[in-house]
Structures are given as structure tokens and as C-alpha cells.
């Protein structure tokens, strides 16, 4: 796969470090201080809504940009090819909410996670469109993202986060 000039990407933090590193996402002004917008080089949609940019934590922005570019390159810069690997199906970025059934903030609260194609990758499902070896999974993992499809307890194949579990 053609990968553009290697970037020195920051190491993803640990989940347990996030509150200390980024502060409480529920606080006023958190977004303005911590978020960056990343525009994928391909067209992306959430249902019928065009998503031209993704809100992401500044720390994760270079890695997300790189993963998007890798997908675009691997698809021969062809939108139909991007659609075939479901990279064009956006399902969420920054949402301030706790992890279901827990008091720890979701990594979406810190804008360190992106969900793709929730429709074909439902939470908890074992057979999903994104599987180990899928192009989208490969492109995100090679840029340091953790893929929720590898989680044993509560598999989350739509979920890619730039933060390590721990
Ligand atoms: Zn998610």
C-alpha cells in the first residue's frame, strides 16, 4: 500500500490518563480548546447527511488524517472503491457521555474515537463487516488506533480510538 511520507505521530495515551491530560469534557469551552477538524479526502455520509469534517481531539488529528489518506490511497483515490470498504459511512465522533453501564467517560467524550458504519457493525455482534484484515481496520491500526473489534468483553467493531485501554 502506498503510504505518503511517514509522520511522527504522538503515542496514544492511556484511557486512565485522559481526565488528567485533557480535563473534564463536560466543562464549558472544552471543545474549543481540544478539538480539531479533519476532512477526509473522500466523501462521507451519515444516512443522507454529508459529513465534510470530523471533530477529533488535537492529539489524534494527525493519525486520523493519515488513516483517511491511507484508505484513499489504497482505494486508488476512487470513491466507489471507498464505498465498497464502507469507509464512507460515518457513525459518530465527539459525544460527551459515559460508557454505557459505567461511570468512566466514553473515549468519544474526549473526542479520541470515531465510529464507522454502525449499521453493519452493531455493538456486541461477532460477525460484522469490519473484521481483522479489513482494509479500514488495517489503515486505522497501522496509524496507532485501537479497534473495538478486537475486544473480547464487549466487541465494538464500528469503533476506532486513539487511546490505549488501561
Ligand atoms: Zn465508538
Residue 166 lies in a domain: no
Q: What is the pLDDT of residues 142-162, one digit of tens each?
A: 999 999 999 998 899 999 999
Question: How far does the centroid of ligand 1 lie from the alpha carbon of residue 112, in Å?
Answer: 9
Is the pLDDT at 2 greater than 50, yes or no? Answer: no
Tell me if 151 is assigned to some domain. Answer: yes
Q: How many angstroms separate the alpha carbon of residue 1 from the centre of ligand 1? A: 26
Q: Which CATH number characterizes residue 74's domain?
A: 3.30.1380
More confident residue, 102 or 139: 139
- The pLDDT tens digits for 47-72 are 999 999 999 999 999 999 999 999 99
Digit-coded pLDDT (tens) for 18-47? 999 999 898 899 999 999 999 999 999 999
pLDDT at residue number 97 = 75
Asked if residue 110 is part of any domain, the answer here is: yes
pTM for the full model?
0.92
**Residue 82: per-residue pLDDT:** 98
Q: What are the DSSP E strand ranges found in 13-110?
A: 35-38, 44-46, 49-51, 54-57, 90-92
Domain residue limits at 55 = 15-161
**Cell numbers placing 18:** 485522559
Task: State the pairing for strand pair 146-147/90-92.
Answer: unpaired
Q: Which of 111, 116, 83, 117 is nearest to 96 (CA)?
A: 111
In a domain, 55, yes or no: yes
* pLDDT number for residue 1: 47
Is a pLDDT exceeding 70 seen at residue 102?
A: no
Cβ atoms of 148 and 161 within 8 Å: the answer is: yes
Pairing relationship of beta strands 90-92 and 49-51 according to DSSP bridges: unpaired
CA of 147 to the centre of ligand 1 (A): 9
User: Is pLDDT of 3 > 80?
Assistant: no
Query: Number of folded domains in the chain?
Result: 1
C-alpha 28/C-alpha 38 separation (Å) is 22
10 within domain boundaries: no
Q: Give residue 101 CA to ligand 1 midpoint distance, Å.
A: 14
Amino acid at each position: 500500500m502506498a503510504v505518503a511520507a511517514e509522520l511522527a505521530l504522538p503515542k496514544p495515551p492511556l484511557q486512565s490518563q485522559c481526565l488528567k491530560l485533557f480535563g473534564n469534557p463536560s466543562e464549558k469551552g472544552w471543545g474549543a480548546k481540544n478539538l480539531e477538524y479533519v476532512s477526509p479526502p473522500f466523501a462521507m455520509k451519515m444516512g443522507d447527511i454529508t459529513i465534510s469534517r470530523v471533530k477529533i481531539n488535537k492529539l489524534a488529528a494527525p493519525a486520523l488524517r493519515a488513516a483517511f489518506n491511507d484508505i484513499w490511497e489504497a482505494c486508488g483515490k476512487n470513491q466507489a472503491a471507498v464505498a465498497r470498504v464502507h469507509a464512507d459511512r460515518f457513525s459518530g465522533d465527539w459525544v460527551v457521555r459515559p460508557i454505557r453501564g459505567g461511570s468512566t467517560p466514553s473515549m468519544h467524550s474526549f473526542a479520541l474515537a470515531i465510529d464507522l458504519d454502525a449499521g453493519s457493525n452493531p455493538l456486541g455482534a461477532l460477525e460484522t463487516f469490519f473484521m481483522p484484515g479489513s482494509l479500514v481496520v488495517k489503515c486505522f491500526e497501522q496509524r496507532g488506533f485501537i479497534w473495538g473489534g478486537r475486544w473480547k468483553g464487549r466487541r465494538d467493531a464500528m469503533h476506532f480510538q486513539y487511546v490505549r485501554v488501561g
